[in-house]
Structures are given as C-alpha cells and as structure tokens.
Chain A
Amino acid sequence: MSILVLAEHDNNELNPATLNAVAAAAQIGGDIHILVAGSGCGGVADAAAKVAGVSKVLSADSAEYANGIAENMIPLIMSVIDGYSHLLAPATTYGKNILPGVAALKDVAQISDIIRVDDADTFQRPIYAGNALATVKSGEALKVITVRTTSFEAVAAEGGSAAVEAVSATGDAGKTTFGKSELSSSDRPELTSAKIVISGGRGMQDGSNFAMLEKVADKLGAAVGASRAAVDAGFVPNDYQVGQTGKVVAPDLYVAVGISGAIQHLAGMKDSKVIVAINKDEEAPIFQVADYGLVDDLFSAVPQLEGEL
C-alpha cells in the first residue's frame, strides 16, 4: 500500500495539521508520500522531507498552486494519484475544499473527518455533530479521506530524510482567480493547536467584552474561541467559532465562559481533556460536560480569574 498525504502550507511553512494527517497515514500503514503543491514552496518541500515516517515528497512548484485553488489542485492530484491506495488530507477548510473533487473524478466515495483507523479499509467518523460515531468500511480502490487533526497525535516534524521529487505542473484551469486573504493576526496560539482555549458565548453580551477573555488568555498562553451564538451575534469573527460548523478543538484545558452548551458547540470541544464552565445559569447544559463548573456572573468571575493566575 502507498499513501499520498496532501500537505497544507502557506508556501513558507508546513501547517502542523499535515503532521496529524501523516499520523493517520502511519496507522493505516504502508509507504507514505507527501504532495507539496505551491509557489516558491521549496522550503516547505524540504520540511516535508524531514517529517518522520515519510519516504518521498512530491513537489509541484508553480504559480497556479500559490493559493490552493481547488480547480488547479485537483488536476495535479489526478496526475499523480495512480498507484496510491489512499489519499489523505487534514479535515481543515483547505483539505475539505480540495479532496471531494478528486474523489468524484476518481468515482470513489470520500470518508470525511476520520477520528480512528481500524484497518486499511475501516475507519470511525463522527456524525450528527459527534452525537453518534459511525464505523464505515470502504471497498473502493482508492480511499479518499480527510482526517480530524485533534484525533491523531502529530508525528515528529524531524527525523525523516525523504527524497524530494519534482512533478510537472498541470497549468492554470482558468476557473477561479484568487483576490486576497484577510487573515486574523494574533500573537496568541492558533485555536486548533493551542494547549489551552478560552471561549466566550452569548453571555459575553458584547464583542468588546472579549477583551476580558484575551487578558486571561495572555496569562495562560491560550487561544480565544467563541460559540456560534457569539459569532452570529457579531461579537467576534467566524474564525473564532468552535463547534460542528466551525473548528474542532481538543486542548488540555477548555474554559467555556457564558456559553450555554448547545449540541453544536459541544461537538467542537467535548474531546478536551479538562473542561471548565463559568455560567450564571446553573441549568446550562454546558455543566453536564464540565469537569469543573462555576455558577457565577462572568463579569465578576473572569476578572477575578485573571487576578488569581
């Protein structure tokens, strides 16, 4: 068996989510190759070659791959995919955008967001926002899979010494042009890889009140997240959203502040090791999943928490 893992990167650095996808590949077993497609991405290909357990890196360095436009990436993957038994990518917006098109053109089913590898054909994935776990078996010649990054511990970024092989570019499909990106800039850790996450919900009442959470986050080295209710209310941008329709996180410590605990929010954080809930409503469902619950007004509790840290 040989497995191709699609690398996620920004042409400068390999996104660590790739290391979680490689970890899933290692559990499947077989030769693991990484495809790095980008523009001026030689450094990323070199970094991919050092990833533990990887035997080959395919590098496609050409302008049309600069921004991961799916219509350009899919023909490239199609040009190299023959002979592979599995195609994996992290279940990020990057992987979710690109992989289904490859599955469709290969006429095979995709298995999204796997959380466990049983064997080379059988995988477990959450359905209904994680309220049920389905074990599915695929008889397809090519298994196209996206990997929930929080369910697989990243392989080491160093230790490998794979060969880097250049592959021919497939050209610009001419379907979509990239305009610009507006990425949130923050000195805090990234939400999905942070060891500690502190999130606010509708109870925060206003976007400006998130400053309280940021102060706590800075003391703990934490990332700041939000519930869908807080995003819907316009308190914070959507990339803060933790939940079924946002990001899935599984930090060592998750602090939910003013979050009631809707099913769709729990789907995004209930695999956290330790959950703390601060809410003035003692009936809030979040307390049912919390290891430590504090029934208190967040506007007094959060500043006090900051003071005691």
Chain B
Amino acid sequence: MKILVPVKRVIDYNVKVRVKADQTGVELANVKMAMNPFDEIAVEQAIRLKEAGTATEIVAVSIGPDQSQETIRTALAMGADRGIHVPASHDTEPLAVAKILKALVEKEAPGLVILGKQAIDDDSNQTGQMLSALLGWPQATFASGVEIAGDALNVIREVDGGLEHISSKLPAVITVDLRLNEPRYASLPNIMKAKKKPLDQVSLDDLGVDASQRLTVVKVEEPPAREAGITVASVSELVDKLKNEAKVI
C-alpha cells in the first residue's frame, strides 16, 4: 500500500511571529521555517506503517513556493521514499489544498492519506476533513492511535471529553494529533541519501485545479497586549489580592 503524506512549510514553532507594519500579514522574510509539527507526526506514522510491513511506499507532498522542496527533503530524510512539489502561493487556502490533494490521490492511488490535524500558521484545521469529503473516503480525525489489519482501520480519536474509538475501511484519510507518536530526527547519512531521492514537480495546470483565493484578508494585527502585572511576595498576599483586589474568589 502506498501512503500519501502532505507536509507544509511553516514558521518554526519556536519563532516569535511578528505582524508586518502594513498589517497585510506576518513577516516571513528571513524567518526560520520548518515542517509543520503535526505533519512530522504524520510522516513518522507513515514510516512506522512501512517498517511494520503495512505500507510499501511513502510519497511526501508539499504545496507552496520553491522552498517547500526543503520541507519535502526533510520528510525524505526521515524516511519517505519520494516527493511531489506543487508550486503555489504560500497562502493557498485549505479548500484549494484539498482539491490539489484529491487530484494527486487520483493520480497516485494511495490506500491512505495521513495529514497533520492543523498547520500552526493559519490554524484552520480543515484540509483533511475537506479531502475526505471530496474523495468520499472515511475520515479519522485527531488520531492518537492507529491500527491497520488488512483493509480494516481502527483509530483512537482525541475528542474534547476524552477518547473515541472508531473503525473504518481503507482507503481512508487520517489526521493526526500530538500524542500519536514522537517523530524521529533525520540522521546525517539519511539527510545525504534524501538528496538523491526522486522529487517531481507537478503544476496546478497539470492537476486542473483552480487555487485562487476565496477569502480576502482585510487586515492582520497584533493581539491587544496584557497590562503588566505585579509580583506578590507570599501565598497570603496572593490570596488577599485575589479576594479583595481582583475579587475572583
């Protein structure tokens, strides 16, 4: 079975994001970028399924500017077999991404698509669900446990109140949550090997997808800052402040 894993290039999660002075977006120039952390978990899961003999090939896909190829190389260094880069704007919306992925699924015929549950830049949490609806495939979102036997798929989902167990049949779409696994680091030899792994480009025209923006970003601004607080010297002072000043207890 082939597994398709979409990976997104985002601002590294350790970087403090700065809003541009003209309020058109956030500063991306000269900022450290990395693979979306949830996508790392998705890549790791695909590799584990391959190591277990369930999957035979892992295809990493990234949609975005040329630098997205670096993100694909990261996936290849972790253990994916080949990559596909679809050149597009950094701001390609989830619906367009889902349409692009659908077209790639029709071309590549994977048995499973594993995605991160959300990208930590736009925090939309939409793409996997949209892809599943467009394909008419089962969806298993927010997975913290994945088990595959033949074409049977059992997933444990993280929901607000706890956990949920569901079963479906492959082919299916899975979106992964934090606790599914701990992604491996790519070793130096594997990073070298990844440079030789195949990486193809497929254009939006080849796929016949219109990726134009549907939403207009009117403004991007900084959130209101909190006023600086005070340091209290003791637990007694804290309790006194909460009772008599803040009046919250």
Q: Which residues of A contact B (CB under 8 A)?
A: 67, 69-71, 74, 92-94, 96-105, 107-113, 122, 126-140, 175-184, 192, 196, 220, 228, 231-232, 237-239, 241, 244-245, 247, 252-253, 263-264, 270, 273-276, 287-296, 301, 304-305, 308-309
Interface flag for B139 (CB, 8 Å): yes
Give the complex CA separation of A176 and B219 in angstroms: 40
Give the complex CA separation of A172 and B146 in angstroms: 23
Kindly report which residue of chain A lies nearest to residue B130, judged by CB atoms.
A104
Give the complex CA separation of A94 and B169 in angstroms: 21
Interface flag for B54 (CB, 8 Å): no
Asked if residues B166 and A276 are in contact (CB atoms below 8 Å), the reply is no
Asked if residues B235 and A296 are in contact (CB atoms below 8 Å), the reply is yes
Known pairs A231-B178, A293-B229, A305-B239; A176 contacts B16 (CB<8 A) = no
Chain A interface mostly helix, strand, loop or mixed? mixed
B contact residues around A241 at 8 Å (CB): 178
Chain B interface mostly helix, strand, loop or mixed? mixed
- Contacts A93-B157, A105-B134, A292-B238 given; 10 further ones with Cβ under 8 A? A74-B133, A100-B125, A104-B95, A136-B218, A181-B162, A182-B163, A238-B158, A264-B120, A289-B229, A305-B238
Known pairs A127-B220, A232-B178; A292 contacts B230 (CB<8 A) = yes
Kindly report which residue of chain A lies nearest to residue B216, judged by CB atoms.
A137
Asked if residues B17 and A101 are in contact (CB atoms below 8 Å), the reply is no
Q: Which residues of B contact A (CB under 8 A)?
A: 11, 13, 16-17, 19, 26, 38, 93-95, 98, 117-118, 120-134, 137-142, 144, 154, 157-169, 177-179, 214-223, 226, 228-232, 234-236, 238-239, 241-242, 246, 248-249
B contact residues around A104 at 8 Å (CB): 95, 98, 129-131, 133-134
User: 10 A–B contact pairs at CB < 8 A?
Assistant: A93-B159, A100-B133, A128-B26, A128-B121, A136-B215, A245-B117, A252-B248, A274-B242, A294-B238, A296-B235
Give the complex CA separation of A305 and B166 in angstroms: 43
A contact residues around B248 at 8 Å (CB): 196, 252-253, 273-274
B contact residues around A305 at 8 Å (CB): 235, 238-239
Asked if residues A309 and B165 are in contact (CB atoms below 8 Å), the reply is no
Known pairs A131-B16, A245-B178; A176 contacts B249 (CB<8 A) = no
Residue of A132, A139, A183 touching B19 (CB-CB under 8 A): A132
Asked if residues B123 and A309 are in contact (CB atoms below 8 Å), the reply is no
The 6 lowest CB-CB distance pairs between A and B, nearest first, are: A101-B133, A179-B165, A100-B129, A104-B130, A109-B214, A291-B229
Q: How far is the CB of B173 from chain A (nearest CB, A)?
A: 10
Q: How far is the CB of A139 from chain B (nearest CB, A)?
A: 7
